[in-house]
Amino acid sequence: MKFTIYGSGCAKCKQLTANAEQAAQQKGLAYELVKVTDTNAIIDAGIMRTPALAIDDEIVIEGKVASADEVASLLD
């Protein structure tokens, strides 16, 4: 499983990263974490609001910090 976090590296981005990692660990899933901070790469991915989370290259959260439980529900 691959998590991609899109954002500038701000506190909200870091919290979304931590929540995604916590969700994967709760489910016992192996994962790869990629952080995209380049503005052009974020725009190219179609992201309009950060932070954003993609799971296996599908954008599932944009413009908010989802809780670990919210992320976990997306993993089912």
Residue 31 lies in a domain: yes
Residue 73 lies in a domain: no
Residue 22 lies in a domain: yes
pLDDT tens digit sequence for 13-60: 999 999 999 999 999 999 999 999 999 999 999 999 999 999 999 999
Q: Which amino acids are annotated catalytic?
A: 10, 13
Binned at pLDDT 50, 70 and 90, residue 1 comes out as: very high
| Separation between Cα atoms, residue 59 and residue 66, nearest integer Å | 13
CATH number for 46:
3.40.30.10
Q: How many domains does the chain have?
A: 1
Angstrom CA distances, 76 to 36, 67, 72, stand at 25, 15, 7
> Contact, 62 vs 48, CB < 8 A?
yes
Residue 20 lies in a domain: yes
Instruction: Give me the domain span that covers residue 36.
Output: 2-67
Q: What is the mean pLDDT of residues 64-74?
A: 96
Residue 72 lies in a domain: no
Residue 55 lies in a domain: yes
> Contact, 22 vs 70, CB < 8 A?
no
Whether this prediction's pTM lies above 0.85 is answered by: yes
State CA 59 to chain mean position distance.
8
Residue 76 lies in a domain: no
